[in-house]
Structure 1
Amino acid sequence: MDVEKIKNRLKIDHSEDDNLLTDLYQSAEFYIRTSVDSSLKTEDFSDVPIFEHAILLLVGHWYENRLAMSQDKSEEIPYGVLPLIQKMRGLNYENKATKK
């Protein structure tokens, strides 16, 4: 996803944090993907629309809580991300079971 789409989703109208947003997106993508199944590749989620949604929720949370004074909140996973991860785990398990 390009940085303009991320900024649009997060309602950010400046470009000072473009590199940060790109880094956060890549980190969130890795976090979500490996939380579902560490053997999967990003391409494996191409037909799973909630994958992008979970990533953007996490990017938004990390972006909003990036300052040192908000460190206590940064440890928490935002509401909605964990259920999306669990749903994707279920879909992955189901896909593996049907391929056997």
Structure 2
Amino acid sequence: MYVSIEELRKQCNVDFEEDDRMIAKYGAAAERFIERRLNTTYDQIIEENNGVFPEDLEIAILMLAAHWYRVREAVSTVSQSRVPYGIEAQITPFKKMI
């Protein structure tokens, strides 16, 4: 994983270990989801970024995993709206146009 369980826990505002397995699943799923949205691979991005995984993508992974941790159902009774400069803003500079 590109983000640690400690980073995920902190992003989720969790200070206990009981949910670590679920939080790690959300983190792994967020990594896969974002990589697919980029139309490239993380390996290619790291290569283009002098061997470093971009912090912007780490933030996007943390944001998405924390969102999925908090909102565990596919539907909501509460009206939600997209946050400006959120996940899409973090990953757009790394997207490959196809």
**TM-score normalised by the chain length of structure 1:** 0.69
The one-letter code matched in structure 1 to 2:59 is H
| Consecutive aligned runs of 4 or more in structure 1 exceeding 4 Å deviation | none
After superposition, give the CA deviation of every residue in 1:36-79 in whole Å (9 maximum; x if it has no partner).
11x4135734342101000001011101101x4x7237xx7953
Higher helix share: 1
User: What residue number does 2:49 align with?
Assistant: none
Secondary structure, counterpart of 1:57 in structure 2: helix
Residues in 1 aligned to 2:5 and 2:24: alpha-carbon distance in whole angstroms: 6
Given the alignment, which residue of 16, 19, 23 partners 1:17?
Answer: 19
Structure 1 segments unaligned to the other structure (5+ residues): 94-100
User: What residue number does 1:98 align with?
Assistant: none
User: What residue number does 2:45 align with?
Assistant: 44
Given the alignment, which residue of 46, 64, 72 partners 2:76?
Answer: 72
The one-letter code matched in structure 2 to 1:57 is M
Secondary structure, counterpart of 2:75 in structure 1: helix
Q: Check whether the contact 1:21–1:63 (CA below 8 A) recurs between aligned residues.
A: yes
Structure 2 segments unaligned to the other structure (5+ residues): 47-51
Q: Check whether the contact 2:26–2:65 (CA below 8 A) recurs between aligned residues.
A: yes
**TM-score normalised by the chain length of structure 2:** 0.71
Say how many residue pairs are matched: 86
Looking at both structures, which has the greater relative contact order when contacts are Cα pairs under 8 Å and sequence separation is at least 6? 2
RMSD across aligned positions (CA): 2.6
% identical equivalent positions:
22
